[in-house]
């Protein structure tokens, strides 16, 4: 039986770049690759570029436009990222939009104490359990680092904790070639050898050190993953004013060149390997040279990344929902809402960092995760737009009610009441008197209670069958979350 796939709503209503400007950025990026090139310090990678037709001079690799076009044609332009259950499958193509978590945060706002503490493996499991119950979070990017696990065992344990607690598609880092081998081997054990047919996990690799340098460890890890034909996201994250030009257009040129270079490399290593364009442009605070994700320009650039990936007909993975706020407050809400809406309406395919992140990626909060689920729901409703069908134009309903009548009890109102308006799960729409009687809770308090309730709910995901779990534990050092 064919898998049921979640065909996300089509965005594209918001375009910060006109088509001619998208073309100018693309052409300038091709010029960067051909005239300036990228630095590649790994001998094996330079040999691959050389054999594929790039120009290699020492550790400088220059890539011609013809080679770029050849490699773009080889890669798949539609990638299905599967869940453990078929109803969680999502299709990355065209302008279809989905949201997920993200991070590598090192701090967690403890749900019980409200205090910030170092992240640990159990947090990855708990956040996965929350995501399982949040309908507007479509995939799970491992959002924090398990600081209570030794580094050699880190990737396999983080993926294990995630996969054991959600049926949604799981994305995370592998860090090293050995980490990638372990994660893929575990996935194959869980999939009974069919991971490539139904990839319920994929790997993000920061193979690029901006500006324009192939990181040796990241490059070796990338080679390992694409040879196994597991979907990989090419994560490049330059900061305007620090590791890329301070102008938004200049940052987009450099980032697009970096992504094109990565796509070329993956297709030279393994033609047809499933690759996702993973540009994540940001800005530097020029007073402190620190990362900024909450500015309105962040959403503009990430929306532009969607346009650039669509221009080359490639599925993309970008970012929204980052804030410099330290707690779930009004700053967090307005900074997140702008970027989430911008990226959703741009038709970005896989928008990560969208739920739970605080403090410029340093901290993740369960309350914020629940709040962001509601923000994302509003953004997705905007993407769906206004349906204009014969019945929704409502001529018959207007005729039936007539001048001076009321629609409150009409059959047409009853038919569409449950689908036309988004019903919030947190927002209070009652009268002030009722709100006061109910204790005057703010959104953060309500979100904290909901997170507690969801975590107390029995797991809804498929888990890991006992015999497979036993085999995994015999092969790898799995730490109890």
pLDDT digits (tens, 9 = 90+) for 455-480: 998 876 778 999 999 999 999 999 97
**Is residue 3 predicted with pLDDT exceeding 70?**
no
Burial class from Cβ neighbours inside 10 Å (0-12, 13-18, 19+) for residue 387 reads exposed
pLDDT > 50? residue 2: no
pLDDT given at position 192: 83
**Long-range residue pairs from 430-433, CB within 8 A, at least 24 positions apart, any chain:** none
Exposure string for 438-463, b = 16+ CB within 10 A, e = fewer: eeeeebbebbbebbeebeeeeeebbe
Would you state the pLDDT for residue 481? 64
CATH class of 73-384: alpha beta
The torsion angles phi and psi of 80, rounded to 5 degrees, stand at: -95, 120
363-364 β-sheet, strand order? 116-118, 107-109, 363-364, 357-358
Average pLDDT, integer, range 155-159: 98
Q: What does the pLDDT read at residue 335?
A: 96
Q: What is the mean pLDDT of residues 422-440?
A: 90
Mean pLDDT value of segment 87-110: 95
The average pLDDT across 28-55 equals 98
Read off the pLDDT of each residue in 223-238 and give the average, rounded to a whole number. 97
Q: Given a cut of 50, is residue 31 above it in pLDDT?
A: yes
Name the more confident of 9 and 203.
Answer: 203
CA distance 338 to 356: 15
- Per-residue pLDDT band at 240 (split at 50, 70, 90): very high
Between 161 and 291, the more confident residue is 161
Domain positions in the chain: 73-384, 390-420
The reported pLDDT for the residue numbered 1 is: 34
Q: What is the pLDDT of residue 4?
A: 46
Instruction: Give residue 18's region: left, alpha or beta (phi > 0; psi -120 to 50).
Output: beta
Which pLDDT belongs to residue 287?
82
- How much is the pLDDT for 379? 96
Pair 387, 134: CB distance under 8 Å? no
Q: Give the model confidence (pLDDT) of 261-306 as tens digits.
A: 999 999 999 999 999 999 999 999 888 778 888 899 999 999 999 9
Q: What band does 418 get if pLDDT is binned at 50, 70 and 90? A: confident
Q: What percent of the chain has pLDDT over 70?
A: 98
Q: Look at residue 67 and tell me whether its pLDDT is greater than 80.
A: yes
Q: What is the mean pLDDT of the chain?
A: 94
The answer to whether the beta carbons of residues 298 and 337 sit under 8 Å apart is no
Q: Does pTM surpass 0.75?
A: yes
Q: Look at 266-275, 342-351, 425-434 and tell me which has the smallest mean pLDDT.
A: 425-434
């Amino acid at each position: 039986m064919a898998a049921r796939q979640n065909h996300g709503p089509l965005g594209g209503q918001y375009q910060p770049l006109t088509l001619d400007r998208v073309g100018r950025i693309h052409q300038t990026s091709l010029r960067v690759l051909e005239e300036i090139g990228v630095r590649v310090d790994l001998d094996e990678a330079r040999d691959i570029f050389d054999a594929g037709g790039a120009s290699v001079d020492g550790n400088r690799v220059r890539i011609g436009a013809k080679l770029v076009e050849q490699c773009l044609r080889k890669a798949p332009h539609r990638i299905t990222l599967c869940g453990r259950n078929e109803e969680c499958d999502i299709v990355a193509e065209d302008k279809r939009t989905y949201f997920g978590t993200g991070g590598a945060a090192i701090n967690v706002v403890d749900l019980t104490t409200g205090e910030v503490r170092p992240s640990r493996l159990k947090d990855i499991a708990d956040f996965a359990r929350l995501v399982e119950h949040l309908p507007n979070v479509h995939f799970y990017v491992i959002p924090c680092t398990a600081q209570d696990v030794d580094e050699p065992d880190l990737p396999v344990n983080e993926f294990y904790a995630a996969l054991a607690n959600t049926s949604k598609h799981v994305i995370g880092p592998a860090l090293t070639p050995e980490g990638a081998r372990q994660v893929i081997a575990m996935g194959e054990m869980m999939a009974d050898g069919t991971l490539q047919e139904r990839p319920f996990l994929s790997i993000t690799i920061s193979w690029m050190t901006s500006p324009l340098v192939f990181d040796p460890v990241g490059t070796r890890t990338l080679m390992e993953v694409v040879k196994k034909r597991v979907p990989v996201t090419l994560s490049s994250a330059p900061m305007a004013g620090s590791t890329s030009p301070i102008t938004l257009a200049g940052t987009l040129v450099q980032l697009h060149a970096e992504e094109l270079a990565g796509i070329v490399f993956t297709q030279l290593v393994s033609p047809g390997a499933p690759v996702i364009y993973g540009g994540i442009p940001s800005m530097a605070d020029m007073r402190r040279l620190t990362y900024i994700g909450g500015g309105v320009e962040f959403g503009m650039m990430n929306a532009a990344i969607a346009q650039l990936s669509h221009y080359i007909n490639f599925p993309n993975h970008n970012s929204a929902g980052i804030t410099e706020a330290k707690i779930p407050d009004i700053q967090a809400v307005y900074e997140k809402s702008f970027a989430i809406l911008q990226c959703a309406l741009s038709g970005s395919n896989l928008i990560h960092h969208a739920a739970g992140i605080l403090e410029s990626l340093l901290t993740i909060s369960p309350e914020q995760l629940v709040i962001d689920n509601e923000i994302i729901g509003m953004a997705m409703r905007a993407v769906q737009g206004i349906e204009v069908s014969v019945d929704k134009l409502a001529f018959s309903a207007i005729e039936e009610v007539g001048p001076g009548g009321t629609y409150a009890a009409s059959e047409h109102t009853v038919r569409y009441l449950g689908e036309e308006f988004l019903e919030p799960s947190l927002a209070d729409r009652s009268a002030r008197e009722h709100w006061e009687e109910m204790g005057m809770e703010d959104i953060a308090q309500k979100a904290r209670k909901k997170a507690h309730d969801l975590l107390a709910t029995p797991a809804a995901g498929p888990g890991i069958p006992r015999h497979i779990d036993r085999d995994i534990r015999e092969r790898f050092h799995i730490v109890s979350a």
